[in-house]
């Protein structure tokens, strides 16, 4: 019977010990879960802050690019009237697509009966650090290589 009492006491002691350890583990687990939720919430806040910063940066860059484009378009339209323009404004025609202007240098004088057309010039206006597009580079090359012609199209209406 003594052995039984000893086994019973050991069983009770082990049960109490396991209950205490289970309670400690439960508290640790709850603390880990709380720490994880705080960590995740902090990451969410950091992510959202970064996201908003990147969106604001992208919006600012888009605004600046739009302003540069508008300035460039304005300069293109005003170019013939600028003091340092080497061409007579009446000799220039705005195209605005594959190049900004085509100039018949001397056209105004020929209308008045004097002189001749000295040259035909394709003009592309660029501001800042902007460069010719690939298409504009190809057009420039064609002009420089003399691959330019005149074509008269007649329509029967």
Query: For residues 124 and 100, is the Cβ–Cβ distance under 8 A?
Result: yes
Pairwise CA distance, residues 42 & 117, whole Å: 72
pTM: 0.55
Confidence of residue 102 (pLDDT cuts 50, 70, 90): very high
* Over residues 33-49, mean pLDDT: 90
* Over residues 27-42, mean pLDDT: 89
* Over residues 49-75, mean pLDDT: 88
- Please give the full DSSP string across 105-124, using - where no structure is assigned: ETHHHHHTT-S---EEEEE-
pLDDT of residue 8 exceeding 80, the answer is no
> Edge-to-edge strand order for the sheet containing 119-123?
92-94, 101-105, 119-123
**Residue in the block written with tokens 């900004």:** 100
Pairwise CA distance, residues 73 & 78, whole Å: 9
- Write out pLDDT tens, residues 119-148: 999 998 887 788 999 999 999 999 999 999
Pairwise CA distance, residues 10 & 18, whole Å: 12
């Amino acid at each position: 019977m003594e052995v039984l009492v000893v086994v019973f006491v050991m069983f009770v002691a082990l049960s109490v010990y396991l209950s205490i350890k289970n309670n400690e583990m439960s508290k640790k687990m709850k603390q880990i879960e709380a720490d994880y939720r705080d960590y995740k919430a902090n990451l969410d806040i950091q992510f959202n802050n970064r996201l908003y910063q990147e969106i604001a940066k992208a919006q600012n860059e888009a605004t600046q690019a739009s302003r540069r484009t508008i300035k460039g378009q304005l300069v293109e339209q005003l170019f013939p009237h600028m003091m340092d323009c080497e061409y007579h404004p009446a000799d220039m025609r705005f195209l605005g697509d594959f190049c900004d202007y085509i100039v018949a240098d001397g056209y105004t004088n020929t209308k008045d009966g004097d002189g001749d057309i000295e040259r035909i010039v394709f003009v592309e206006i660029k501001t800042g650090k902007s460069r010719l597009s690939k298409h504009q580079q190809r057009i420039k090359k064609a002009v420089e290589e003399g691959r330019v012609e005149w074509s008269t199209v007649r329509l029967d209406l």
